[in-house]
Copies of this chain bind each other. A is one copy, B any other.
Amino acid sequence: MRDGRKVTLSDVAAHVGVSAITVSRALRTPEKVSLKLREEISRAIDLLGYVPDPAARALASSRTDVIGVIIPSVTNSVFADVLRGIYTAVEKTPFDIQLGNTRYSPLKEEKLLKVFLGQKPAGLIVSGIDQSERGRSLLETASCPVVQIMETGENPVDIMIGFSHYEAARAATIHLIEQGYRKLAFMGARMDPRTQRRFQGFRQAAAEAGLFSEERVVTTAEPSSVSLGSQLFCELIEQAPDLDAVFCINDDLALGVMFEAQRRRLSVPDRLGICGFNDLEMMAAAEPPITSVRTFRYEMGKRAVEMLLEAIAVGRGHRGTIVDLGFEVRKRASTARGSCGASD
């Protein structure tokens, strides 16, 4: 501000003695402006405290430096990690993040998509592959690159980066079986489509070994938490007292199960195996350390942005790229049955 009035491009231009467009170019395409002018302009900008008006820029050029990010939840620590990756990658660029929160509702997602796309974003990052039909077609006709994160699947809208929740759950279940567990239980909360696919992976692996039983499944629509894990475990063990291992849809639940097991003096891993999902930092630190499926959330966010920037630079071209970041079953004490402990 200067005299309480906004400092504009023309103010800077007048101060240097050039036209406004030259200042604009000095900012956006410096290579088109002579070095001497560039320096003078830069000095004037500092002196006057000029800050570009993004609204005016967006209006004039029908482009913005905004990358829209649409995720189901800001609270969920899984997305927190993804966001950290996203913010890190965006930090050294001129782009801004605009966050949208679907709260796991496809309808809200659709509405957000409309709003975001109306703002002519430079790019869009959306979570998952389960857009509503209208949402999907909005994405397909979007005039900016789109990255779908969290999951891989058929038919990417544009770019896709994630991993297979089905395979990850399957691998974890196989690990439990390999450790000698036979009465496998499944615990799920907030059964969104991603979670459903994890369940399918569990079910498939268990069924293949002839170990699947509907009785040893608890799910709820409630959002997961540590205490919910404890609570669901109580239900689970009541309806199937002979269970010997639990695969939990996420680490919060797994931790809750472990605490409840301690409360009930069920020894982990001998009497009860526990496997979580996501491999939050605390799983390795727990006592005993808890087996979990490691996913590369930070990397996912980071690479999503990097790929988006690349696509922005060349203009939509990579259509169809799918990056599978994979996963890793981190085997820890909570499922280390057999080697030393006795089974019952």
- Chain A positions within 8 Å of B, measured between CB atoms, are 1, 51-56, 58-59, 64, 74-75, 77, 80-81, 83-84, 87, 91, 96-99, 101, 114-115, 117-120, 141, 225-227, 229-230, 252, 255-256, 259-260, 262-263, 281-282, 284-287
Give the residue among A83, A87, A114, A118 with the most B Cβ atoms within 10 A.
Answer: A118
Bound-state Cα–Cα, A1 to B252, Å: 43
Count the copies.
2
Question: A1's closest neighbor in chain B, by CB?
Answer: B141
> Judging by beta carbons under 8 Å apart, are B64 and A75 in contact?
no
Bound-state Cα–Cα, A110 to B218, Å: 49
Given known A259-B287, A284-B227, contact A55–B52 (CB-CB < 8 A): no
Residues on B with C-beta less than 8 A from A225 are: 281-282, 285
Residues on B with C-beta less than 8 A from A141 are: 1
Question: A83's closest neighbor in chain B, by CB?
Answer: B74
> Judging by beta carbons under 8 Å apart, are A252 and B87 in contact?
no
Residues on B with C-beta less than 8 A from A64 are: 55
Bound-state Cα–Cα, A64 to B59, Å: 14
Residues on B with C-beta less than 8 A from A115 are: 51
Residues on B with C-beta less than 8 A from A52 are: 118
Of B97, B259, B285, the contact of A285 (CB 8 Å cutoff): B259
Given known A226-B285, A282-B252, A285-B259, contact A87–B74 (CB-CB < 8 A): yes
> Judging by beta carbons under 8 Å apart, are A281 and B227 in contact?
yes
> Judging by beta carbons under 8 Å apart, are B80 and A77 in contact?
yes
Given known A83-B75, A99-B97, contact A54–B119 (CB-CB < 8 A): yes
Chain B min CB distance to A5 (Å):
11
